A and B are shown apart, each in its own frame.
Chain A
Amino acid sequence: MKTLVKLAAPLTLAAALAPVPAAAAWRLVEAGDTRKVARSDLRVTAPEDWNRATERPTSRSEVWTQDGIALSELSFFAKIKDGETLFKRNQRKRNPLPEFDKDMLPTDLVEWYEDTANIVLGGSLFEIVEVTPATLGGHPGVHFRYSYTGGDNVARLGEARAAIIDEKLYLISFEAPRLHYFDRYITGVRAMMDSARFE
């Protein structure tokens, strides 16, 4: 029990290991704006107004929200290199996060995301609902849907689009409570994933 209570109280994935600080500033992304995300050449067009956190969870990621992170969380990850992890490594030895491998198959990407989530969330109720082939910025990749219950006992749904491009991982994920919030935004988020382009 002692080991367990050392872990943070994760509500959502991005909030878990690398929380956006309470003092983070937010900037508006207006509907129709096209922006580069996660300090990369990946550009998305926002179909409606979003709030972008100026503090980044890691140097390779960026978080947007509508209602606050626990209620709607859109994350962009870009240029994750071979051997890197999705989130910051807090407990390198005792609770290691799985590393990205440039040779991963599309199915491996999904399992890697699931394994990362299971460690970050500390639970085992994460379930992959559906996995389909997809493209991201014109590159072949994978789209997957998942559900999970985190430490706050709130049932969430999530969808992610990922591709390995030039041996680096690009991933966009969205998750929100099953009740109301997920359905409210997912259509727009899917459109945004479809709109993703490289320079």
Chain B
Amino acid sequence: MKRLFSSVALAALAVQPLAAQDVEAEEQAEVAVEVEADAIENSGEEAPLPSAHGYEPKDELEKGLWYEMDEAEKRLKESRFLIEDPALNDYVRSVLCKTVGDQRCAATRLYLIRTPQFNASMAPNGVMLVYSGLLLRMRDEAQLAAVLGHEFTHFEKQHSLRIFRQIRTKTDILSWLSVLPVRLPYPAGMAAQMAVLGSVYDFNRDMEREADAGSIDELMRAGYDPRAASAIWSQLGAEMDATAEERGHRSDKNRNGGLFATHPRSTDRMGRLAQLAREAAGEDAENRYTGAQEYRAAIGPWWSALIDDQIALKDFGGTEYLLATLAGDDPLGWTGDLLYARGELYRARAEEGDFAQAADFYRQAIATGEYPAESWRGLGLSLLRDGHKVEGQTALRSYLELRPDAPDAALLASMAGEVAS
């Protein structure tokens, strides 16, 4: 994100070439702004938290920032990438409120965004964004609570506001913001306004540490197992290793980029979070609430859509790893859904032996008794690609019996050797 700001800064400077020559003066100005910001922060001893009822922006800069964020929120409400399902929204909100308490929770407007990336963020005006790729990766309610608690701490400690005070030099904050949507290429699959909301999060390491510690406090207060926080980072780190291995590039795990663009090195933070959890809960951690079943039930209706989004990324290594973590260590953890997804993954890769493997996974899915009807479709297509025409056609007909209204029913019927009506 630093690179992002510097490129925006460059763009701004290009418009004002004079300013570009005066880097030293600018740095001094930056320090001055920081001092000014500290003065504002230290002035009122009992300044209200942004999560308090009726909180209002304190100075011109904060007012300007809120104004822009409110405008961005209006546009966000129009976005087709919003997940509007009331049940899923209520659930995620209930986890947030349980984590930070109903009173502080009231300051938050929560939005779920359909995009397969892992991310969550919170804007200074109380807008929280949770990406569906994050929901897919959480294994239980405690992990979700850990992320939400982390973002809420950034919000309450006003980290993004502090960052803005630092980057504001000669240029007025509003013009910074107005540059952003034009200069910034879109974050993949998201509306431009989200780029604006997301772009304020270049937290420094101290801020991240503070948010991590905050998340452990919130987990403890709410009764969750605080070990959930470190588990997230070990899962994600391993997933990035798996992606990199399959694609033959270096893992992004310890790069300050990619999924971790706004976060310190994942291995560092994992260790620190695990230690914080030990200090906070000790031996008692075993008995604390994780809410794995509750989480699965809440995410259930969305699961197949979210895994489809993930498979569409064509990230074989990362997705294979992700499915295995979702199944857990238990062989029975491989549910019909997960086996179907694994079949789709292998069929999509289409390398030597993959169709036979895929057919095997679809068959296993069907054998569980609870599986997506599309397992028959996948089985039929894998068998056809593998040269087993008759069996493949039979499987396609089984699918058409279950899903006569499938979007590709007419084509599948012709492939299954039926006379098209």
Q: Name A residues whose Cβ lies closer than 8 Å to a Cβ of B.
A: 1-10, 93-94, 96, 98, 101, 103, 105-108, 110-111, 114-115, 118-119, 121-125, 128-133, 142, 144, 149, 151, 153, 155
Contact = CB atoms under 8 A, between A and B. Distances in A.
Contacts of A151: 186, 188-192
Contacts of B253: none
A2 B258 contact: yes
B410 to A, nearest CB: 5
B185 interface: yes
Interface in B398-421: 407-408, 410-412, 414-415, 420
Contacts of A10: 186
A94 B12 CA distance: 30
Nearest to B116: A124
B185 A106 contact: no
10 contacts: A1-B1, A3-B258, A9-B186, A115-B348, A118-B313, A119-B312, A121-B189, A124-B114, A124-B308, A149-B80
A1 B412 CA distance: 40
Interface in B1-55: 1, 3-4
Contacts of A2: 1, 3-4, 257-258, 261
Nearest to A118: B312
Q: Which of A3, A7, A115, A155 has the most CB of B within 10 A?
A: A3
Nearest to A103: B385
Given A2-B1, A9-B186, 20 more contacts: A1-B4, A1-B119, A2-B257, A4-B190, A7-B185, A8-B186, A94-B247, A105-B381, A105-B415, A106-B411, A119-B313, A124-B308, A125-B114, A125-B189, A128-B407, A130-B408, A133-B420, A151-B189, A151-B191, A153-B81
A3 B261 contact: yes
B140 interface: no
B64 interface: no
B230 interface: no
Interface in B260-311: 261-262, 308-309
Contacts of B114: 124-125
B188 A153 contact: no
A135 B376 CA distance: 26
A101 B350 CA distance: 9
B314 A133 contact: no
Contacts of A105: 381, 384-385, 415
- The interface size bin for chain B is 35 or more
Contacts of B412: 107
A9 B185 contact: yes
B195 interface: yes
Interface in B188-228: 188-192, 195, 198-199, 201
Contacts of B312: 114-115, 118-119, 124
B411 A4 contact: no
Contact of A122 (B4, B188, B192): B188
Contacts of B350: 101, 108
A27 B248 CA distance: 44
Given A1-B261, A123-B189, A96 B247 contact: yes
Contact of B407 (A4, A130, A155): A130
Contacts of A124: 114-116, 189, 308-309, 312
A130 B117 CA distance: 28
Given A122-B186, A133-B410, A4 B117 contact: yes
Nearest to A145: B407
B80 A93 contact: no
B411 A131 contact: yes
B4 A5 contact: yes
A10 B401 CA distance: 39
Contacts of B262: 1
Nearest to A129: B407
Contacts of A7: 185-188
B354 to A, nearest CB: 11
Contact of B195 (A5, A101, A107, A130): A5
Interface string B157-200: 00000000000000000000000000011111111100100110
A145 to B, nearest CB: 9
A96 B316 CA distance: 11
Interface in B102-121: 114-117, 119
Contacts of B189: 121-125, 151
B79 interface: yes
A114 B317 CA distance: 20
B58 interface: no
Contacts of A93: 247-249
A144 B407 CA distance: 9
A1 B411 contact: no
A193 to B, nearest CB: 16
A94 B249 contact: yes
A107 B1 contact: no
Contacts of A4: 117, 187-188, 190
The 4 closest A-B CB pairs, nearest first, are: A122-B188, A123-B189, A131-B408, A2-B261
Contacts of B330: none
B78 interface: yes
Contacts of A155: 80
Contacts of B314: 96, 98, 115, 119
Nearest to B184: A5
A110 B411 CA distance: 11
A151 B117 CA distance: 15
Q: Which of A119, A142, A149, A153 has the most CB of B within 10 A?
A: A153
